[in-house]
Chains A and B, each alone.
Chain A
Amino acid sequence: MIKVENLHKSFGRLEVLQGITTTIKDGEVVAIIGPSGSGKSTFLRCINLLETPTNGRILINGQDITDKSTNIMKVRQNVGMVFQHFHLFPHKTVLQNLTYAPVKVKGISKQEAEKNGLELLGKVGLSAKAHEYPNRLSGGQKQRVAIARALSMQPDVMLFDEPTSALDPEMVKEVLEVMKALAHTGMTMAIVTHEMGFAREVADRVLFLDGGVLVEDAGPKEFFSNPASERARDFLQKML
């Protein structure tokens, strides 16, 4: 469970998050939407401490990760992240991308890491690409590898920052399918996305951010058919 309490984040004098409070339950899939610059990425990046919150608390499974004594590396091992631009390691093969962190930071054996890695590649439909280098893959394949890489650490939570925004339209679906399958396994997921159809279908809840404020926190049906705020209505009108 992720509990976010009055989360603030400023870059210099720019206050990007202005006190966000919400809870993401175990196994819940939350879509985060909102206009560009509203703080969606920053919110996500606070959850794995790629950004350090200026104020407020974030508790993951009861542990306050904003506490000074928290081991940041341990937190990140437990929170997977998928980026818009994949960020696969180009000098490592697909399988090495999946085994590097488990071997290096979790200290599991290479054999076991490879076994797990191949299994994950099977799940994202890329067993055949295990020994290719990333630049031989299409965008959709890269993103599926990136998802498998994040899963290789066996995290409790997965964060996605616009995972399909850099993809050609014909590749969006294969990535969304993988994410949907992951959601069905009961993974706790927070997804920043512009794919409204996906959010409506897969998300248990929608968070609508605008100007660093959590304007709406509602079920997808409710949010998409009857948004409470003017700002969400405007936004949806532009998106749909």
Chain B
Amino acid sequence: MAKLDIERIRLKVYRFDPETDREARIDTHDVPYVDGMTVLDALFHVLEKIDGSLAFRFSCREGICGACAMFINGSYRLACETQVARVLREGHRELHVMPLPHLPVIKDLVVDMTRFWQNYEAIAPWIVTRTADPEKERLQSPAQRKLIDEYVGCILCGSCFSSCPSVWTGREYLGPNAMMKTYRWVVDSRDDAAVERLGRAGNEKGAWRCHTIFNCTEACPKKINQTSAIQGLKRRTVAAMLRGAR
């Protein structure tokens, strides 16, 4: 990415501590700009040099752990992968960093992901087999593996969950991530629990609540199409019912 001829970047960051604050505020900082700087770097500058009380999540710093998902200049992005230069090239003059919307704020940019994790756990996101364990490993052909390629790229950042209107209104809705992951196991040639999985997701708290709004697909930093996976779940649930699956 070509160099930017600037010395500082203005960073506006959301601050809220439910234990002490009555309402949220936006803090403004002018942060020294260096080439290749990411939004996470800018947040670290604030944390280390200006205000050590700023709270945010991160871990891998390379787009793998999903911890740093935030709402940056109006889009769901990973702070560690988002270069400041890219945001400015989109036409923005300053950085606006907010927590993932529609989730309870624990502090500043850290949101409560409990519901997201509970839903994920509820779909049993592990392999279920009914055959004897092979000596070495359960093999998959390249074609079989292709069916799940897109979905194993999910880093569980929660952006899709935060962006989904059906999640905002439906407290019991599984959400796009848990359903995409359900589909991922349903189409996995090594898994033997497709019918149970379809039963878990093919109901009013699952697949039928998806109104194909595509917010999740747009929000995903890994470009995963959860909506299409959910449509796949719907089709497979109907097909299983027509086959008389129990």
The answer to whether A and B interact is no
